[in-house]
């Protein structure tokens, strides 16, 4: 991929696929959420093809709940035009930051993209990048009905922990390894690390108003597949 002045583009992506998907039950009792189909294509295969189109040719997929199904479906990634490595977290997923921290040896060097395996979006991945003065860049989206209060603010290209208007974290981001400094191996959520980076003015952000859906419940999955 090309690199714009002052912005580093990721050459590797991590797709988060380890979660149990409690809100998607009973469907997720037998099918991991990333393997759910929207309009004839599984969510995770859509992400893999999107990565290949923009030249992100190395992909790491973390596994836990029903992980063998994901590994069996995706294989080495060759038919999608990418090379897949797997980070197996065992029977207890490590939460978002913990899972990324465990996979860091597979993601370096350079900044890397992270995409939730259970979102559906047409965000152009070629736009993802992180500035030299930042450890993270996150994509924010307008608040969906199920999350009306949002997560973070946006001001002058920075993500803000507090703001009068809050937007929803779209689960698309770029991180540098330094973002995870001090993060021990084991379960850890992402939000405290984001808040730390925001307090240090090292987390940039953008608003994306295109197609974006959190495929988190059977009802939302049905709505996406409706004619």
What pLDDT is recorded for position 20?
A: 84
CA distance 52 to 166: 32
CA distance 93 to 91: 6
What pLDDT is recorded for position 6?
A: 80
- Name the E strands within the chain: 7-8, 12-16, 37-38, 41-42, 58-63, 83-88, 112-116, 119-121, 130-131, 136-141, 153-155, 158-160, 168-175, 203-207, 212-214
CA distance 198 to 173: 14
Based on the number of CB atoms within 10 Å of its own CB, is 51 exposed (0-12), middle (13-18) or buried (19 or more)?
buried
Number of DSSP helices (H) and strands (E) in the chain, helices first: 5, 15
CA distance 76 to 56: 15
pLDDT above 70 (res 1): no
DSSP letter string, 104-122: HHHH-SS-EEEEETTEEE-
pTM of the model: 0.94
What tens digit of pLDDT does each residue of 91-119 get?
A: 899 999 999 999 999 999 899 999 999 99
- For the record, the structure tokens of 222 come out as 């049905």
* 43 SS3 class: helix
Helix axes 43-53, 67-74, angle to 10 degrees: 40
CA distance 17 to 12: 16
Q: What percent of the chain has pLDDT over 70?
A: 98
Of residues 60 and 216, the one with the higher pLDDT is: 60
Mean pLDDT taken over the chain: 94
Helices (H), 58-167: 67-74, 95-107
What pLDDT is recorded for position 196?
A: 98
pLDDT above 70 (res 4): no
pLDDT above 60 (res 209): yes
What pLDDT is recorded for position 67?
A: 93
Q: Are strands 37-38 and 12-16 parallel, antiparallel or unpaired?
A: unpaired
What tens digit of pLDDT does each residue of 145-194 get?
A: 999 999 999 999 999 999 999 999 999 999 999 999 999 899 999 999 99
β partners of residue 119: 214
Short-list 191, 189, 44, CA closest to 121? 44
Burial of 56-91, coded b for 16+ CB within 10 Å and e otherwise, reads bbbbbbbbbbbbeebbeebeebeebebebbbbebee
CATH code of the domain occupying 8-225:
3.90.550.10
Mean predicted confidence (pLDDT) in 116-139? 96
What pLDDT is recorded for position 132?
A: 94
Mean predicted confidence (pLDDT) in 204-219? 95
């Amino acid at each position: 991929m090309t690199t714009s002045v002052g912005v580093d583009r990721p050459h590797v992506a991590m797709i988060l696929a380890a979660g149990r998907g409690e809100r998607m039950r009973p469907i997720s009792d037998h099918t991991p959420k990333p393997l759910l189909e929207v309009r004839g294509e599984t969510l995770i295969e859509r992400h893999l093809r999107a990565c290949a189109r923009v030249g992100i040719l190395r992909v790491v997929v973390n596994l836990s709940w029903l992980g063998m199904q994901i590994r069996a479906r995706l294989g080495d990634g060759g038919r999608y035009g990418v090379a897949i490595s797997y980070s197996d977290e065992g029977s207890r997923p490590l939460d978002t930051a913990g899972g990324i921290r465990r996979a860091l040896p597979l993601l370096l060097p350079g900044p890397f993209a992270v995409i939730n395996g259970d979102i559906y979006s047409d965000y152009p991945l070629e736009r993802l990048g992180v500035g030299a003065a930042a450890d993270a860049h996150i994509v924010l989206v307008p608040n969906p009905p199920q999350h009306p209060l949002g997560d973070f603010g946006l001001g002058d290209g920075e993500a803000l922990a507090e703001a009068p208007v809050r937007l929803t974290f779209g689960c698309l981001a770029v991180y540098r390894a330094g973002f995870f400094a001090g993060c021990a191996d084991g379960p850890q959520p992402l939000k405290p690390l984001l808040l730390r980076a925001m307090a240090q003015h090292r987390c940039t952000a953008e608003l994306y108003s295109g197609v974006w859906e959190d495929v988190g419940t059977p009802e939302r999955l049905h709505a996406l597949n409706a004619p």
